[in-house]
Amino acid sequence: MKWLTNSFRWLTSLFLVVALQAQAQPTQTYTYPPSQVVTIHSKLLNEERKVYVHCPKADSTDGNNRFPVLYVLDGDNHFELLAQYVDYLSRPDVLAMPRIIVIGIPNTKRTRDLTPTNSLLNYEGKPDSSSYQGSGGNEKFLQFIKSELMPMIEKTYQTAPYKILAGHSFGGIASLNCLLTHPEMFEAYIAVSPSLWWDKEYVLKLTDEKLKNGSTLSKMLFYSDGNEGGANSFFHKNLLQLNATLAKKKLKRLAYRYKHYPTETHMTEPVVAYFDALRFIFKNWSKQH
């Protein structure tokens, strides 16, 4: 058995040498393109709107000159996060997703733009006129995106038809509301901790009303929640109800995924959820390239 022992030692030495050589290889340094700030005047909203734009780095060897577009609500908080994720995941040594354009939409009147109905009730169902005055402007905001912002982006940048809408909290219900009322606007939707409590669970009721049993909805949807009050909180129960409703509807061609992050707070959850959402939406992309 001495020959077996010697062979094992030889193989171990070989693996060690290979591992050390791999560690000694210089890692390539990647430089990422800067983002731009663009201003557009909205006639619908009667105000100047600032948007952030992050485009893939120009590559003369890449024949693909048009890119999917990810529109992210709450651009003040999550634009840079998603731009970094997209840049990393589309790197040539990662290739987990295609290179895409990221559009961040910062807030001016967040409650107005991201809530689907006018309501003065807080998450406990109690009146709160100081926080929610002027709510319910999501329909006009979606029209701004559709008829003013998108045409400007598509005219200015090298866009492909595939579009994604991403939002967190109020942005999450705005994303779901868009899916339910204007599904043609985007091919994929991301709702991170959507505030389904809004206006006595309005979006939950709308989901049950709009989505007909066995109907076809050729979209992708990722939704999630964190530890927002524990497993028995209204936040978690609302997400479970949304998940149960979608399962009951048995929609054709809707690819959806629900993820619960029990160790994350409402504000840390987007860090992991947006990563998982991108991996879900482009789960089959690497197999095709």
The pair phi, psi for residue 64, each rounded to 5°, is -85, 100
* Torsion, CA 58, CA 64, CA 65, CA 68, rounded to 10: -100
Nearest to 285 by CA among 159, 150, 162, 157: 162
| Domains of the chain with bracketed CATH | 30-288 (3.40.50.1820)
Angle between helices 234-249 and 198-210 (to 10 degrees): 10
109, amino acid identity? K
- Specify the pLDDT at position 12: 45
**Interatomic CA distance for residues 134 and 127, integer angstroms:** 14
Average pLDDT, 10 consecutive residues per value, the chain (289 residues): 45 42 51 86 97 86 83 96 96 94 97 97 89 96 98 96 98 98 98 97 98 97 94 92 98 98 97 98 83
**Interatomic CA distance for residues 276 and 193, integer angstroms:** 14
- Specify the pLDDT at position 289: 64
pLDDT tens digit sequence for 149-188: 999 999 999 999 999 999 999 999 999 999 999 999 999 9
Question: For the chain, percent helix, then strand, then coil, each to nearest 5?
Answer: 45, 20, 35
Q: Which residue spans within the chain are E strands per DSSP? A: 36-42, 47-54, 67-73, 101-105, 159-168, 188-192, 220-225, 255-260
pTM: predicted TM-score of the whole model, two decimal places: 0.88
